[in-house]
């Protein structure tokens, strides 16, 4: 989830400091594997939407201590620069869509996300990935901004799988948790974007130790949600990571103890970040943030007792 403890009434105002944009697709290569980012939106986000007690002034103070955060990830007025996007992994014959954004036509409490009518599928097609070409859909977790395009409205007004030839992969503990818990904003996210996949017999339960192919596997990164996964890409001696929401913004690299108000278990989320970052910050691994703005990806390295993301 790319937002947090602001009330539903002011969530849109607190998330957005200007009109949402749709950046051009970004592309990265890990060995023989290509990764393409297709953005649904990019918005400056108030820190109050994500973090308890962190003001815009607090963000600027953190950026002063970690200058690498600007200008890519923190604006001059203290907003966090974020995006909502899908990463499509091209590995051999596999076309794997990781996280499916907010989606169109969904009834949502956040006014920015309510009944969207965006061109996301057209943008995917223009980038070379029409819906029928996707072989797998992976949801790092089942929050609203990671499952929306799992489904779209069918001709009879019901929710049907958007990607007609894809296997949808859900982490079993994550699926079981949200099948019996309300969405954070009491929206019908599971009912309109997850349950129809199971009803269509397209849901495949996976464990954190599973893999899709020799190049694409999972890493357990719980805390933000109980069954949260990150996605690991390995090819040609190179490695890339798609984070999911175990870190929402690069500011959490500079301060891994900083947990989002949307983390189901903030303490576990902190432990996960410290453990994962210690492994990923080898000076070689490409880290692709699921909500990181700007260049979105970079090489993580140790820095001043924490970490930074080198994007040049």
- pLDDT, tens digit, for every residue of 122-162? 999 999 999 999 999 999 999 999 999 999 999 999 999 99
Between the two ends of the chain, the Cα-to-Cα distance in Å is 27
Average pLDDT over residues 70-87: 97
Taking 50 as the threshold, does the pLDDT of residue 12 lie above it?
no
pLDDT tier, 237 (very low <50, low <70, confident <90, very high otherwise)? very high
Identify the pLDDT of residue 112: 93
Identify the pLDDT of residue 67: 97
Identify the pLDDT of residue 23: 86
* Alpha-carbon span 33 to 54, nearest angstrom: 38
| Average pLDDT value for the chain | 94
Task: List Cβ<8 Å contacts ≥24 apart for 271-278.
Answer: 271/223, 272/221, 272/222, 272/223, 272/224, 272/228, 272/246, 273/223, 273/246, 273/247, 276/219, 276/221, 276/230, 276/246, 277/253, 277/307
Average pLDDT over residues 213-239: 98
Which domains are seen in the chain, by residue range? 8-310 (3.60.15.10)
Closest CA to 169 of 145, 134, 133: 134
Taking 80 as the threshold, does the pLDDT of residue 14 lie above it?
no
* Alpha-carbon span 39 to 58, nearest angstrom: 28
Residue 229: other Cβ atoms inside 10 A:
29
pLDDT in tens, 261-280: 999 999 999 999 999 999 99
Q: What is the pTM of this model?
A: 0.94
* Alpha-carbon span 100 to 139, nearest angstrom: 7
pLDDT tier, 13 (very low <50, low <70, confident <90, very high otherwise)? very low
Closest CA to 46 of 85, 13, 69, 83: 13
């Amino acid at each position: 989830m790319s937002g947090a403890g602001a009330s539903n009434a002011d969530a849109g105002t607190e998330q957005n400091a200007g009109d949402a944009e749709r950046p051009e697709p970004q592309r990265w290569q890990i060995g023989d594997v290509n990764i393409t980012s297709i953005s649904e939106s990019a918005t400056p986000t108030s820190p109050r939407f994500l973090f308890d007690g962190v003001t815009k002034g607090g963000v600027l103070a953190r950026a002063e201590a970690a200058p690498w955060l600007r200008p890519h990830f923190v604006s001059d007025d203290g907003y966090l620069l974020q995006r909502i996007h899908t990463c499509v992994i091209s590995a051999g014959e596999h076309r794997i869509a990781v996280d499916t954004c907010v989606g169109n036509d969904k009834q949502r409490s956040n006014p920015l996300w309510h009944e969207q009518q965006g061109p996301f599928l057209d943008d995917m097609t223009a980038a070379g990935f029409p819906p029928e070409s996707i072989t797998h859909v992976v949801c790092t977790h089942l929050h609203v901004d990671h499952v929306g395009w799992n489904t779209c409205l069918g001709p009879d007004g019901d929710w049907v799988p958007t990607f007609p030839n894809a296997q949808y992969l859900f982490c079993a503990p994550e699926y079981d948790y949200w099948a019996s818990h309300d969405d954070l904003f009491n929206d019908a996210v599971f009912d309109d974007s997850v349950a129809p996949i199971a009803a269509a017999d397209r849901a495949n339960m996976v464990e954190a130790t599973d893999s899709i192919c020799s190049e694409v596997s999972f890493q357990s990164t719980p805390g933000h949600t109980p069954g949260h996964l990150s996605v690991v890409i390995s090819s040609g001696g190179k490695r890339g990571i798609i984070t999911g929401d175990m870190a929402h913004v690069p500011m959490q690299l500079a301060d891994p103890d900083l947990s989002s108000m949307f983390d189901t278990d903030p303490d576990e989320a902190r432990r996960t970040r410290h453990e994962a970052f210690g492994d990923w910050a080898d000076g070689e691994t490409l880290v692709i943030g699921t909500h990181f703005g700007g260049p979105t990806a970079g090489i993580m390295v140790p820095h001043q007792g924490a970490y930074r993301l080198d994007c040049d």
